[in-house]
């Protein structure tokens, strides 16, 4: 074990609480508010709420949510990241538009997608509430955006249960995702602008955890957040030496 957070408290030296409309590039609906981030019962809770709120950039939104970014935590080839999470829609039968994610981007510099992106977990309920998605974004040899991903569809909604996700950041570009102990996706090589395994051979300096709303995957159902709110919870997150 190289680093872990069991969320017995909210360590603001480790986690920066987002306060912005981050996600506008994906046409997302939320303003992220620090007040929507909390720790309770040993769990990090990112809460989505229906409310009218004006974000610091002057944009007024009808829904708010929570997002954190790590500070001073690094994740390098030869290591694994593991976390246990639960999605809680206001209405499990009408939860479209919730978009929880645990991910990293831009660690290699040069803008997106050249700097790389690894999505260790995304659930896009507007597309399929039963599916967990695992992805990598990068620039192809011509400089255009390229994507490799795989979705794993469960027998029920992803929100029905807690799930453990692990990503092995293997050396020389060996990237492996696991869902609940079962290998879900593996990549051993892609054609990148920098020449593979770059940028997937460099240290990640920021981990992002967020609950986005609406946007590119599809519209937000009013019932997904409703009057009671929705949440994305994390029980723990760990970085482990392979």
Dihedral pair phi/psi, residue 166, rounded to 5°:
-135, 140
Which residue is listed with tokens 């069991």?
A: 6
Q: What is the pLDDT, as a whole number, of residue 21?
A: 98
Average pLDDT of the chain?
97
Asked if 5 contacts 235 with a C-beta cutoff of 8 angstroms, the reply is no
pLDDT, residue 147, reads 98
- Residue 206: predicted pLDDT: 98
Does domain 3-241 match CATH 2.60.120.200?
Answer: yes
List C-alpha distances in Å: 212 to 17, 125, 155. Answer: 14, 11, 24
Chain CA centroid to CA 195, Å: 26
Token pair listed for 150: 């795989």
The whole model's pTM is what?
0.97
pLDDT score of 158: 98
Q: How is residue 113 annotated by DSSP? A: T
pLDDT digits (tens, 9 = 90+) for 86-119: 999 999 999 999 999 999 999 999 999 999 999 9
Give the closest residue to 235 by CA, choosing from 209, 201, 207. 209
* Per-residue model confidence (pLDDT) at position 182: 98
The pLDDT of residue 101 is 98
Distance CA 57, CA 79 (A): 38
Can you give the residue ranges of every domain in the chain? 3-241
**232 neighbors 225 (Cβ within 8 angstroms):** no
In which element (H, E) is residue 175 found?
A: strand 175-179
Residue ranges of the chain with per-residue pLDDT less than 70: none
pLDDT value at position 179? 98
Instruction: Calculate ∠ Cα 236-238-241, nearest 5°.
Output: 160
């Amino acid at each position: 074990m190289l680093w872990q957070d069991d969320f017995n408290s909210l360590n603001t030296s480790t986690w920066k609480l987002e306060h912005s409309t981050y996600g506008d590039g994906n046409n997302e609906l939320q303003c992220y508010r620090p007040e929507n981030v909390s720790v309770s019962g040993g769990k990090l809770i990112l809460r989505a709420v229906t409310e009218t709120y004006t974000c610091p950039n002057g944009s007024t939104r009808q829904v708010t949510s929570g997002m954190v970014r790590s500070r001073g935590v690094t994740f390098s080839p030869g290591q694994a990241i593991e976390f246990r999470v639960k999605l809680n829609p206001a209405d499990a039968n009408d939860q479209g538009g919730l978009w929880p994610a645990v991910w990293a981007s831009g660690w290699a510099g040069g803008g997106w997608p050249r700097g790389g992106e690894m999505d260790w977990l995304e659930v896009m309920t507007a597309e399929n509430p039963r599916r967990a998605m695992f992805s990598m974004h990068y620039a192809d040899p011509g400089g255009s955006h390229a994507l490799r991903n795989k979705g794993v569809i469960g027998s029920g909604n992803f929100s029905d249960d807690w799930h453990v996700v692990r990503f092995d950041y293997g050396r020389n570009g060996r990237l492996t995702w696991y869902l609940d102990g079962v290998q879900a996706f593996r990549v051993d090589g892609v054609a990148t602008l920098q020449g593979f395994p770059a940028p997937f051979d460099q240290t990640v300096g920021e981990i992002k955890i967020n609950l986005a709303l609406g946007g590119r995957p599809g519209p937000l159902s009013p019932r997904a957040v409703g009057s009671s709110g929705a949440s994305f919870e994390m029980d723990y997150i760990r970085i482990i030496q392979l």
